[in-house]
Amino acid sequence: MKGFMKGLIGAATMAAVGFTGAASADNNTIKFALLQDFTAVYTFVTDEYNQGQRDYLRLINEEGGIHGHTFEAIVRDTGNEPQRGIEGYNRARREGAVLVDFLSTPVSRAAVTRVLEDEVVMITVLHGRGDASDGQTFPFVFPMMATYWSQAALLLDYIDQERGGLEGKRIAHVYIDSPFGREPVPVMREIAERKGFEVRTFAYPSPGNEQSATWSDVRRFRPDFVVLWGAGGGQAVSVREAIRNGIPQENILSVVWMAETDARTIGTELATGIKRFEAVATGTDYPVMQRLMEKVIEPGHGAGDPANVGTTYYNIGVASMAVAVEGARIALEEFGPPLTGDKLRQGMEMIENFDLDGMMPPITLTPEDHQGGGYGRVSTWNGEAWEAVTDWFNAYQDIVWEEIEKDAAGFREGR
Amino acid sequence: MFYRQSGVHHTRYQTARRLWPLPTDQGIVWLLLALAVAAPLYLSDLYLTSYLLPWLIWSAAALSLTLLMGIAGQLHFGFAAVMAIGAYTSIHLTRAGVPFELALIGAGLMAAGIGCIFGAAALRVKGLYLVMATLAMQYLVDWTIINVPAISGGAQATLQTPDVRFLFVPLRGDAMLYYGALLWAVIVTLLVLNIKRTSFGRALVAVRDKDFAASVIGVNPFKFKLLAFFASSFLGGVSGAVLAFCYYQAVTPEQFGFNVSIQLVAMVLVGGLGSVIGAYLGAGFVLLVPIILTNLVAGAAAAGWLSVSSNLLAHIPLMVYGGLIIGFILFEPLGLAKIYDNLRKYFLVWPFRHTQS
């Protein structure tokens, strides 16, 4: 115990010194805490995603803010460690943040009870608990885009509608051996029962640099389609292994975590034809992206490398902040300033058919449904870019919601 | 001068064998304890819940590990798995209606039982081979938790901790959670301090220094290695349960991954093998320095002193942190505890230069 407090006082002073310059509270600034993992596991997405988020907030500020309010992003690295995320969250909350985005499943899960207690909105875009779509149980948590369950359902429905039906097909679910990888399995089994096809699961060990043993099993199964459920470096390895084991590119489908970088790692030619779930459109051919280019990127106010603008994860970042800002706009109009976490929640629950001029599917959030309908589309790599092959649609939401209800009930009982 | 030794005469064995024979040391310990107990009064909830609370719990975990690695000399690279067993056991027990106090003991026993099975490997292998055996434990436990939904809690793989009472006091609110952690840290600290001066502790040290030499002088290495694994895993399991209930309030498998095991080993090594104060300093260093550096760098960037890309900005704290570790190892290989010890010895004889030891 000796020296224990000495260290503490030192630590506290250091932290206090580090922060005097940063905190400047005024009521017309709305603070969003983007406490994400820039250095550990989610590095494949965080840089571009966070850049898109900050550029969008900058755009809103450049355009004069919303009803006289501007936005400030509190950006910190959490290294995917729950204790660092919780520290950053507590600090941001004291600085007045009304929204927090961790982009990390372990950190978000550790923060769920805290945000529910503190009434701070937490957005869990494409990560976190899928059952948080149940707004009654998780009033302050917003998955806001299709959960993994909805993504799996949508990919299967795509096979059913456009690729010659599901009946009698053999589908291999190849996943990283983690809770994330197995998350869609119950939904897939349920759909398999309903539509009469066979789904078998194949796990590869984390982090997925080495998957050859798994894929020789997959080959023996002789699947008609392969659904990849991984993220980061393992994705490119999966696609290469699939092709090496004689699976045509057209029959490889992936979860949302497949981007330009992965296609380049696989080889732009070799990757041609693979399919992925898409939550937000890619590219810069949308009004909001044009505004971004004109007012933020070209004047040199961008938060990062301009080459990233329009990439998959950048656009997801833009869309996430667009929905949050829209929620803030509604909240300010309905309830007036100052914006609190609870007002922001209610504002977001009033969002109706918001589609960012076609860049994302029309989402509608309600006090019951925080997922926004579970929409998405399928896109394919055409050798240069990801190109949509379907319209925005959703699928099997009855099965998805059964799963959501089941897990949300578990959460309620566990408390 | 600062540590006045004159006038301290030990006339009985009890006083000579006290944990802190010098009045100054006793004063420091009492002062720190008083400060720790009064912390909720003068620390804001940010520093209480985000700094002091996790620091205490991780210090208790590092102490449990230092009992095994520092005192008994058995390397363990899967200690996060031990904590995971404790955390999951305690949650499942409390959910089944077992009182929290018993659930904590159950968590310790379960962790100790499974820890001993893998510790049994220690009876045959040493050094790097033992590292491999304990690594296997880490991965096997991880795999089991992820692949058995009954343990991990279904598709979401997250278990919320239920509301519990500890000795009739509901474990709710920042202050109560903090006192729960403080109580456990104090218990483990006193236990490890006392183990070091008992025959059990001396036997562990004998085994650490040379196991066949220990058996020549009548210490049974088989028994004491197993006991070391048992005691350390028991404490680690309870620390895991305290971590789950007092800090995370929800457990997921990622919270007890391999990287956490490495962090624990780093805490023990940076702090100083086998040292109690080293466990506190090491846990503080590994846990808090990255947070403080991140905030310092972010503050400097916000003040306009650092205009670099956000990617580099996120990595600067890592570089500084790495540099600090290398620096400490270069200048004081025996860890932070040794730095404290040097300081203390300097003041022990100040204004003279030479110490006796």
B188-197: pLDDT as tens digits: 999 999 999 9
**Cα(A13)–Cα(A6) distance, integer angstroms:** 11
Indicate yes or no: CB of B299 within 8 angstroms of CB of A91: no
The edge-to-edge listing of strands for the beta sheet with A198-204 is A198-204, A170-176, A225-229, A252-254, A275-278, A377-381, A386-388
Q: Tens of pLDDT along B197-225? A: 999 999 999 999 998 899 999 999 989 99
B35 to chain A: closest CA residue: A5
B40's tokens: 């909720």
Amino acid B1: pLDDT: 65
pLDDT recorded at residue A6 = 46
Per-residue confidence (pLDDT) for residue A378, from 0 to 100: 96
- CB contact (8 A) between residue B292 and residue A182: no
Query: Would you put residue A116 in left (φ > 0), alpha (ψ -120 to 50) or beta?
Result: alpha
Rounded Cα distance, B207 and B72, in Å: 7
pLDDT tens string B246-295:
998 888 888 898 989 999 999 999 999 989 999 999 999 999 998 999 88
Query: What pLDDT, on a 0 to 100 scale, did the predictor assign at position A348?
Result: 95
Structural domain tally of chain B? 1
Residue from the list A50, A183, A185 with its beta carbon closest to the beta carbon of B310: A50
In this prediction, residue B155 has a pLDDT band, given cuts at 50, 70 and 90, of low
The pLDDT value recorded for residue B301 is 84
Band of pLDDT at residue A171, cut at 50, 70 and 90: very high
Q: Name the residue among B287, B298, B309 with its Cβ closest to that of A304.
A: B309
- The answer to whether position B6 is within a domain reads no
Q: What are the tens digits of pLDDT across the range A379-405?
A: 999 999 999 999 999 999 999 999 999
Chain A CB contacts of B93 below 8 Å: none
Tell whether the model's pLDDT for residue B147 goes beyond 70: yes
Residue A166 in this model has a pLDDT that exceeds 70: yes
Encode pLDDT of A214-232 as tens digits. 999 999 999 999 999 999 8
B242 falls within a domain:
yes
Strand, coil or helix: B22: coil
Q: Is B280 on the interface with A (CB under 8 A)?
A: yes
CB B254 within 8 A of CB B188: no
CA atoms within 13 A on the CB side of B130: 20
Name the token pair of A150.
């909805």
Could you tell me the pLDDT band of residue A147, with boundaries at 50, 70 and 90? Answer: very high
Beta-bridged to residue A71, according to DSSP, are A30
- Fold classification of A26-146+284-374 is Rossmann fold (3.40.50)
Secondary structure element (H or E) that encloses residue A215, with its range = helix A212-221
Q: What is the pLDDT of residue B39?
A: 93
Whether B167 contacts chain A with CB within 8 A: no
Could you tell me which residues come within 8 angstroms of residue B37 by beta carbon, excluding any fewer than 6 positions away? B182
Cis peptide before B351, with omega less than 30 degrees from 0?
yes
Q: Chain B contacts of A34, Cβ < 8 Å? A: none
Instruction: Give the pLDDT mean for B231-238.
Output: 97
pLDDT band at B66 (very low <50, low <70, confident <90, very high): very high
Q: Which residues in chain A are closer than 8 Å to B160, comparing Cβ atoms?
A: 112-113, 411, 414-415
Chain B's closest residue to A15, CA to CA, is: B292
Residues A26-46 have a mean pLDDT of: 89
pLDDT at residue A365 greater than cutoff 80: yes
**Could you tell me if residue B7 is inside a domain?**
no
Which tens digit of pLDDT belongs to each residue from B102-130? 999 999 999 999 999 988 877 788 888 98
Q: Chain-wide mean pLDDT for chain B?
A: 89
* Structural domain spans, chain A: 26-146+284-374, 148-278+379-398
Structure tokens at B73: 């000399």
Residue B14 lies in a domain: no
Q: What is the CATH number of the domain that holds B335?
A: 1.10.3470
Question: What's the confidence (pLDDT) of residue B70?
Answer: 92
Average pLDDT value for residue range A335-341: 90
Q: What's at A359, amino acid-wise?
A: M
Residues in chain B within 8 Å Cβ distance of A79 = 290
Are B155 and A182 a contacting pair at CB < 8 A? Answer: yes
The answer to whether position B4 is within a domain reads no
pLDDT confidence tier of residue A18, bands split at 50, 70 and 90: very low
Q: How confident is the model at residue B146 (pLDDT cuts 50, 70, 90)?
A: confident
**Residue A20 reports pLDDT greater than 50:** no
Tell me the three state secondary structure of residue A170. Answer: strand
- The model's pLDDT over B303-317, given as tens digits with 9 standing for 90+, comes to 877 777 777 888 888
Contact B296 A4 (CB under 8 A): no
Q: Judge whether B189 is closer than 8 Å to chain A, CB to CB.
A: yes
Question: Which residues are registered as beta bridge partners of B325?
Answer: none
Contact criterion met (CB below 8 Å) for A142 and A134: no
Q: What average pLDDT does the structure give for chain A? A: 90
Q: Do A22 and B303 touch (CB under 8 A)?
A: yes
Residue A19 reports pLDDT greater than 50: no
Of B203, B253, B216, residue with least CA distance to B87: B253
- Whether B307 has its CB under 8 Å from any CB of chain A: the answer is no
Asked, for residue B175, whether it belongs to a domain, the answer is yes
Q: Higher model confidence: residue A387 or residue B21?
A: A387
pLDDT the model gives residue A206: 82
> CB-based contact (8 Å) between B45 and chain A?
yes
* Dist CA A370 CA A214 (whole Å): 36
Q: Which domain holds residue B154?
A: 22-349
Residue A2 has a pLDDT of 42
Q: What angle do CA B350, B352, B357 make, to 5 degrees?
A: 85
**For B175-186, what is the mean pLDDT?**
94
Secondary structure letter of residue A116 according to DSSP: H
Q: Specify the CATH number for A148-278+379-398; select among 3.40.630.30, 3.40.190.10, 3.40.718.10, 3.40.50.2300.
A: 3.40.50.2300
pLDDT class of B351 with cuts at 50, 70, 90: confident
Asked whether residue A131 carries a pLDDT value surpassing 50, the answer given is: yes
In-domain check, residue B249: yes
- Predicted pLDDT of residue B355: 61
Per-residue model confidence as pLDDT tens digits over A87-125 = 999 999 999 999 999 999 889 988 998 999 999 999 999
Task: Give the pLDDT score at A40.
Answer: 86
DSSP element (H, E) containing B142: helix B128-147
Q: Do the domains at A26-146+284-374 and A148-278+379-398 have one common CATH topology? A: yes
Does residue B156 surpass a pLDDT of 80? no
For the stretch A71-90, pLDDT in tens is 999 999 998 888 899 999 99
Give the pTM: 0.88
Is residue B3, in this structure, part of any structural domain at all? no
Asked if residue A16 has pLDDT above 50, the reply is: no
